[in-house]
A and B are shown apart, each in its own frame.
Chain A
Amino acid sequence: MKGYLGKISTIVWKDLLSELRTKNIIVSVLVFALLILVIFNFTFEPKPEIMASISAGILWVAFTFAGMLGLNRSMLIETEKGGIEGLMLCPVDRDAIYFGKVLSSYTFMLIVEIIVLLAFSILFNLPILIPGLLLIVFLATLGLAAVGTLFSVIAVNTRTQEIMLPVLFLPIAVPLLLAAIKATELVLLGESWGALLSCLGIIGAFDAIFLTVSAFVFEYAIEQ
């Protein structure tokens, strides 16, 4: 088990170090996410009473599209010089490679989301330091990274890689996104933890199911 976790952390270390050098993924994804927020901020002028409902949707649109961009770029790095084949040559289970890539993507996405949340708070004049909101972001982002990592490895091996990821990813992520948007709306409306439970249950179940299934399917997705 120690060796297995060691391999996962080595993959994460490699991805983080590579990203720290260039900041290619984080900067491009962050700019993209902030642009989405700004555009929506100019487009809608919601009244205070419907602000929570609309802004929850806007926030998750920004997270999802920025996340897809980041997932695509993260996997492109692996295909540039055949890195994914290099990983496949290592004496390590394929699911360890999958979990390593999920953790890297999850970390990148969370870094971007924290900054986006700050911008969101300023632009939409809403509080963000709410434990419930942070829990939703942490849990739902894990689900996005779990599904997105699997589909990004499939997408980069197709000719239409940029288009293929949203086509594969979005229909599967719909239940997660609906639950995340609903939960975020409830939190922004100041509802209690009790009201959030059903949404958090859906998000938690989605994470558990897709982390398990994707880890199993990943082997078939990367092998020729």
Chain B
Amino acid sequence: MKEPLPANFKPTWAIEAEELTKSFGHRLALRGINLKVARGEFFIIFGPNGAGKTTLIKILATLSKPSSGSVRIAGLDLKKSPAEIRHQIGVVCHQTYLYDNLTAYENLRFYGRMYDVTNVEKRIQQVANYMGLVFVLKERMGTLSRGMQQRLSIARAIIHNPEILLLDEPETGLDQNALLLFEDLLTSFRRSNKTLVMTTHNPERGLKMADRVIILAQGKVVYEETKPDVATFKRGYLCEGVRY
């Protein structure tokens, strides 16, 4: 059953997860994760490969169902209101979620329509301007470089102007120019009080931007710190025995 919420309802926490577990057969990918991300916070998840970062992002993105535990996103229960939650989130993952045979413009129009974006043409121009995609809008996705595809993937994720952006190693494949554009985008997201949850393997870049960081290892949160500097962070994860 869907939860009725007042039109102007703004929950304190953008994301709340309690005792979240996920198993694939006998393998436990997440082991009782407790997480609270405030509205407007830039929250970064570090962790070695196989720590459960992508699994966590996929659950928060409603792509995967948790085995147990509860999740609330923008005040909505993940189990009861997944469609409403999808309006609130934008997701960038390893895969672009785009179609090679369609042009950049057609890909954005497709997702704009799927998200019920009003005045979709104007919005496409806005995000294309923002991501430096104006000159490739008529190009087929399959002919673009990996970096341009990733830019387009980010444009797709923000086409509906989401309140929460979930980013799973979004820097993959981005060149220096695109990385700067991407950092600008993240900064502007923060200015507009939007929430960012990002996984990354790059402590320098992550720590520069983060309000709070956690380290996941073997499906558990093993380290949590607010605005740590690189030295504190490295001491922290070395103490926890996490290997990068």
A residues with a Cβ closer than 8 A to B are 3, 6-7, 10-11, 13-14, 17-19, 21-22, 77, 80-83, 85-93, 223-224
> Which B residue's beta carbon lies closest to that of A10?
B113
> Which B residue's beta carbon lies closest to that of A80?
B100
**Bound form: Cα–Cα A22–B143 in Å:** 14
**Bound form: Cα–Cα A19–B102 in Å:** 10
Which residues of B, 2-21, contact A by the 8 Å Cβ criterion?
none
**Bound form: Cα–Cα A17–B100 in Å:** 12
- Residues in B with CB closer than 8 Å to A82 are 93-97
Known: A91-B84, A92-B114. A85 touches B97 (CB 8 A): yes
Known: A3-B116, A90-B114, A91-B116. A83 touches B98 (CB 8 A): yes
- Residues in B with CB closer than 8 Å to A3 are 116
B129–chain A nearest beta-carbon distance, Å? 22
Asked whether any CB of chain A lies closer than 8 Å to the CB of B123, the reply is no
Contact across chains for A22 and B111 when beta carbons are under 8 A apart:
no
B165–chain A nearest beta-carbon distance, Å? 12
> Which B residue's beta carbon lies closest to that of A15?
B99
Interface size on B, residues (CB 8 A): 32
Contact across chains for A77 and B116 when beta carbons are under 8 A apart:
no
A86–chain B nearest beta-carbon distance, Å? 3
Contact across chains for A22 and B110 when beta carbons are under 8 A apart:
no
Which residues of B, 55-94, contact A by the 8 Å Cβ criterion?
58, 61-65, 83-84, 86-87, 89, 91, 93-94
- Residues in A with CB closer than 8 Å to B97 are 81-83, 85-86, 89
- Residues in B with CB closer than 8 Å to A19 are 101
Contact across chains for B98 and A89 when beta carbons are under 8 A apart:
no
B residues with a Cβ closer than 8 A to A are 58, 61-65, 83-84, 86-87, 89, 91, 93-102, 106, 110-111, 113-116, 140-141, 156
Indicate the member of B96, B106, B114 with the most A CB atoms within 10 Å. Answer: B114
> Which B residue's beta carbon lies closest to that of A222?
B63
Contact across chains for B114 and A10 when beta carbons are under 8 A apart:
yes
**Bound form: Cα–Cα A93–B143 in Å:** 32
- Residues in B with CB closer than 8 Å to A80 are 100
Contact across chains for B113 and A88 when beta carbons are under 8 A apart:
no
- Residues in B with CB closer than 8 Å to A91 are 83-84, 86-87, 114-116
A147–chain B nearest beta-carbon distance, Å? 25
Contact across chains for B100 and A81 when beta carbons are under 8 A apart:
yes
- Residues in B with CB closer than 8 Å to A224 are 58, 63-65
A101–chain B nearest beta-carbon distance, Å? 14
Contact across chains for B102 and A85 when beta carbons are under 8 A apart:
no
**12 further contact pairs, Cβ within 8 A, besides A14-B106, A82-B95:** A6-B113, A7-B113, A10-B110, A10-B113, A18-B99, A21-B140, A81-B98, A81-B100, A83-B98, A89-B61, A91-B84, A93-B83
**Bound form: Cα–Cα A83–B107 in Å:** 11
> Which B residue's beta carbon lies closest to that of A22?
B101
B67–chain A nearest beta-carbon distance, Å? 11
**Ranked 3 nearest A-B pairs via Cβ:** A86-B97, A82-B95, A91-B86
A215–chain B nearest beta-carbon distance, Å? 16
Contact across chains for A90 and B99 when beta carbons are under 8 A apart:
no
Indicate the member of B91, B97, B100, B116 with the most A CB atoms within 10 Å. Answer: B97
**Bound form: Cα–Cα A70–B51 in Å:** 38
Contact across chains for B113 and A81 when beta carbons are under 8 A apart:
no
Known: A85-B95, A89-B91, A90-B115. A14 touches B62 (CB 8 A): no
> Which B residue's beta carbon lies closest to that of A3?
B116
Contact across chains for B114 and A7 when beta carbons are under 8 A apart:
yes
- Residues in B with CB closer than 8 Å to A7 are 113-114
**Bound form: Cα–Cα A21–B101 in Å:** 7
**Bound form: Cα–Cα A7–B243 in Å:** 45
- Residues in A with CB closer than 8 Å to B64 are 223-224
Known: A80-B100, A83-B97, A85-B93. A90 touches B58 (CB 8 A): no
